[in-house]
Structure 1
Amino acid sequence: MTIKEFENKYWYMSELKAFAKSLKIPVDSKIRKDQLEALIIQFLKTETVNQKNRFRSKSRDRDILNNHTYVENFSNKKETWEFIQSEMDKQVPGLKPKSGAKYWLNRWIENKLSHGEKITYDDVICKYIRLNQTEGRLPQIPSCKFNNFISDYLANEKNATREDALDAWTKLKDMKIKKDYITWKKNKNT
């Protein structure tokens, strides 16, 4: 399979895991869809697998939540987000979380930790504030092809309904093209 063929197919997570297994790519049960897609693409390019994004420390103890604690085992749990939101409210009262801000904060934390950088929870809170103060929309989440397509379709198609968007998605899913609104728009009549 070529990279283009891989990218032009819509994969469910179960299909990705089965495909990775057939390629003998070890899959962690907590791997995200975008991470697994990146591993498969890397394998298709190089026939090797680099899983360097193992950023958790050996200890599984949760971090103590205070501004000066170094992030070692970031937990995406309710208590962590309540702490981050509470600290953000102290610094910028009334600032509302933007759609996608948690996702992009998590990717920022992963990137910093996977490169061996030391960050504190204060750094995390400051980054979260910057994300939420960004003008306009944050970038779309790359692995959410379905959600991104539906939101772009509804935003751009005149008088579109969710049913119309779902129908268009079903057709796009079967096409051997990139799974996004712009590509669908260019190819919808072919």
Structure 2
Amino acid sequence: MAKLHAAMSVEEFDDNYFYATELKTFARQLGIAVGRRRKLELEALIREFLRTGTVPLAKPEPDRRSGKSRDKLAAETIVRDYVDDRRTKAFLRDLVHASVPALRDKSGQWYRLNEWRRTQLRAGQRITYADLGNRLLELMRWEGRFPRIPAGRFNNFVTDFWADPANKGKTRADAVAAWERIKSVPGPKTYEAYAALEPSRGPEAPIEDGK
């Protein structure tokens, strides 16, 4: 059986049989994003590459659930109609794992990736899904905790709220109520400031007789 290589002809490709796993590996080597593509789709894209020598351009595809257009999930696709769903996240993970297979998710990576994407687009930058994959790779490789985002005061407050053992078992509604309280008083809008308002977090008060 012949081995897949970038210099092979279309005829040589068609004269041999290749397993789906081989096609996926070869497609990644060529720069073709695998995503959730089927074997026949990969074969067609590889044939086009062997004919032209360039990675096939991807076109937007309709979102079957909403009927709206969404970007074709491919590394070379320019980000225009981005959909932040499980399908997109799985595709971006696929791009990352093509380089570092064992890399694991990191808490906060998607929030920061979306912030980076919006910042780039607002600045008029042209970015592709390969760029998103590279940025996600950087985030997943980040050592230690991510730095705080100054504009995300609410997110920072909620993070500290959950980190306090005194709030174990409380709900998100409790966290939001705490945030609304600290917003209503003068001073810094931090969890530390909120905790200082709560008598129960200070020295335990003496129990009165008969209570």
Shorter-chain-normalised TM-score: which range? 0.5 to 0.7
Q: Whole-Å Cα distance in 2 between the matches of residues 184 and 125 of structure 1?
A: 38
The answer for the alignment partner of 2:156 in structure 1 is 148
Which of the residues 70, 79, 94 maps onto 1:86?
A: 94
Consecutive unaligned residues in structure 1, runs of 5 or more: 1-59
**Residue 162 (1) aligns with residue 168 (2):** yes
Q: TM-score, normalised by structure 1?
A: 0.54
Instruction: Identify which of structures 1 and 2 has the higher relative contact order when contacts are C-alpha pairs closer than 8 Å and 6+ apart.
Output: 1
The ranges of structure 1 where at least 4 consecutive aligned residues each deviate by more than 2 angstroms after the TM superposition are 139-144, 147-151, 159-179, 182-189
C-alpha displacement of 1:176: 3.4
**Residue 76 (1) aligns with residue 95 (2):** no
Does the CA-based 8 Å contact 1:150-1:162 persist in structure 2?
no
SS at structure 2 position matched to 1:160: helix
Q: 1:140 to 1:107 in 2, by over 3 A?
A: same
Does the CA-based 8 Å contact 1:109-1:124 persist in structure 2?
yes
What is the number of residues matched between the two proteins? 127
Consecutive unaligned residues in structure 2, runs of 5 or more: 1-67, 200-211
C-alpha displacement of 1:177: 3.4
Identity %: 31
Q: 1:174 to 1:98 in 2, by over 3 A?
A: same
Q: 1:144 to 1:77 in 2, by over 3 A?
A: farther
Q: 1:164 to 1:115 in 2, by over 3 A?
A: closer
Amino acid at match of 2:166: A
The answer for the alignment partner of 1:97 in structure 2 is 105
What are the residue-to-residue correspondences of 1:40-189 with 2, within 5 Å? 61-140=69-148, 142-143=151-152, 145=154, 148-155=156-163, 160-162=166-168, 166=174, 169=178, 172=182, 174-185=184-195
C-alpha displacement of 1:153: 4.2
What are the residue-to-residue correspondences of 1:16-55 with 2, within 5 Å? none
Q: TM-score, normalised by structure 2?
A: 0.50
Amino acid at match of 2:168: R
- Cα deviation digits, residues 1-45 of structure 1 (max 9, x gap): xxxxxxxxxxxxxxxxxxxxxxxxxxxxxxxxxxxxxxxxxxxxx
Amino acid at match of 2:109: A
- Cα deviation digits, residues 139-170 of structure 1 (max 9, x gap): 3465472x533432454x5x534268959927
Task: Report the structure number with the largest CA radius of gyration.
Answer: 2
Aligned alpha-carbon RMSD (Å)? 3.1
